[in-house]
Amino acid sequence: MKTLRLLITVFFSFILLTGCSYERGLILFNSVPITQNNALHDQKVFKPGNKVYYLFIAPKKMYNDFIRVQVFTMDDKIPLGGENVVRTKDFRLNRDERYYYTDYFTFWQTGRYVMQVFSHDDFTHPLAINEFYIK
């Protein structure tokens, strides 16, 4: 837990020192549990039935006790990108998780998926969005 916190601190320091500003947070995916050594090795393609580990890094400190993680499918055959919500779950944040949250999920259906994270006080503007594929 301390190594993950150190990684997040270094990441935010890097953003501040380079002059970049992000309005949204980040979601990083990996096929193995996310640690300090592999956190920046973002992976986008997973096999059906394998665990998809994710790390959500908030754009700023979250004062709400809960976040909502939502995953939906995108269909490229529909002109405007069809969507079907496949998972929505609320998570309670611990005191040391005010800048990040990490967990995993598993999908067996192939396709293009989009994950978004919301604060419980605003379900219209996601804190972070990213996509991944099950192939």
Instruction: Give burial (CB, 10 Å; 0-12/13-18/19+) of 67.
Output: buried
Those residues with Cβ within 8 angstroms of residue 69's Cβ, 6 or more apart along the chain or in another chain: 56, 87, 88, 89, 90, 91, 101, 103, 115, 116, 117
Give the pLDDT of residue 116: 95
Give the pLDDT of residue 36: 85
Give the pLDDT of residue 5: 61
Identify how many contiguous H helices and E strands the chain contains and give both numbers.
Answer: 1, 8
Per-residue pLDDT of the chain (135 residues; tens, 9 = 90+): 555 565 555 555 444 444 444 468 999 999 999 988 888 888 999 999 999 999 999 989 888 899 999 999 987 776 665 678 999 999 999 888 889 999 999 999 999 999 999 999 989 999 999 999 999
The answer regarding whether domain 2-134 maps to CATH 2.60.40.1930 reads: yes
- The candidate with the shortest Cα–Cα distance to 26, out of 109, 135, 129, 134, is 129
Task: Give the span between the Cα atoms of 25 and 113, in whole angstroms.
Answer: 18
Query: What global pTM score does this model have?
Result: 0.79
| Full DSSP string of 55-105 | EEE-SS---SSEEEEEEEEEETTSTT-EEEEEEEEEEEPPGGGSSEEEEEE
Judge contact between 28 and 34, C-beta under 8 A: yes
